[in-house]
A = this chain, B = another copy of it.
Amino acid sequence: MSTGTEAPLNGVRCLVVGAGGFLGRALSASLCERGAVVQGYGRLPEDDAARDHRVAWTNAPFSDYPALARAVEDQEIVFHLLGSSIPESSNSDPAEDLLANVFSTIKLLDLCRAAHVRKVVFASSGGTVYGIPAVVPTPETAPTDPISAYGISKLAVEKYLALYHHLHGLDYHILRIANPYGPGQSPLKKQGVVASILYRAITGKSFEIWGTGEVTRDFIHVDDVSAAFIHAAHYAGEQRIMNVGSGHGLTINQVVGDVQHVLGLTGVRVTRKPGRAADVPVSILDTELIRTATSWRPRVSWIEGLTQTAVWMRHVLAT
């Protein structure tokens, strides 16, 4: 059924909503390489050099529905990766988070339906929709009790996708993605702990750890996430929600240790801060389902991916 990541997408018209973000840029490049005709929507990367000139751009906010309608027109597959918040900040104004993410996504689904889009692939959050996990590694069937407004918004969008399929036959797949890392991730945003630690270690700055550092996360390389989206584009089976992660957990303290090892440094400086209410203690995804349903596997091992990311970041910082 699945034709894998090697299969071409020659001439397939794809819209990437959130194409200026870390995952959006990697996915757009990956789609272009497979011959897809890619339209990007969202905020352009600030650095024009980071822009992929094979991608046609709509530089508009998510809430500009006329612009969004024009971007959706004639598209076959819509990848929705746009999120305007992170778990911690979402909790300071859940109502605003709902508007920015859920309300706008319903508008997007209305447009997809009107434009007869063939399929929507949504980037959900494996690290937040489950909340404090009842089972580790966590399968897709586990209870979903988010402890952040960010996670509730992702979960609500999942439910609206199922509703639009039920009511209108709009096809969809949902990827619940673990913690992505890799080249291209900005170290200056509040999301992306690997990029942040690498950056601070390389530049000799102190890294802030919230809580004990024993919080455990499932890190997945950006190329493996892009590959999962490509698999979802080709996939025609019955699974609607699939976890995308390495299936392994690392504590933040372990990441700090591995960063030191990879960089050949000692004594990365760490500042300890109180734990944050939006952080679940552990998030490791059970990825049996996507491995069974498709031929997707994570291809980039942790140390290999971390080393490659360190090389990239040293290069960026040197130029």
Q: Which residues of A contact B (CB under 8 A)?
A: 91, 94-95, 98-99, 102-103, 106-107, 110, 141, 143, 145-149, 152, 155-156, 159-160, 162-163, 166-167, 277
Contact = CB atoms under 8 A, between A and B. Distances in A.
Given A155-B159, A156-B152, A159-B155, A277 B95 contact: no
Contacts of A102: 98, 102, 156
A39 B250 CA distance: 52
Nearest to A91: B167
A159 B162 CA distance: 18
Contact of A98 (B103, B148, B277): B103
Contacts of A160: 94, 149, 152
A245 to B, nearest CB: 22
A175 B104 CA distance: 29
B147 A94 contact: no
A110 to B, nearest CB: 7
Contacts of A167: 91, 147, 277
Which of A110, A147, A148 counts the most chain B CB atoms within 10 A?
A147
Given A147-B166, A167-B277, A110 B95 contact: yes
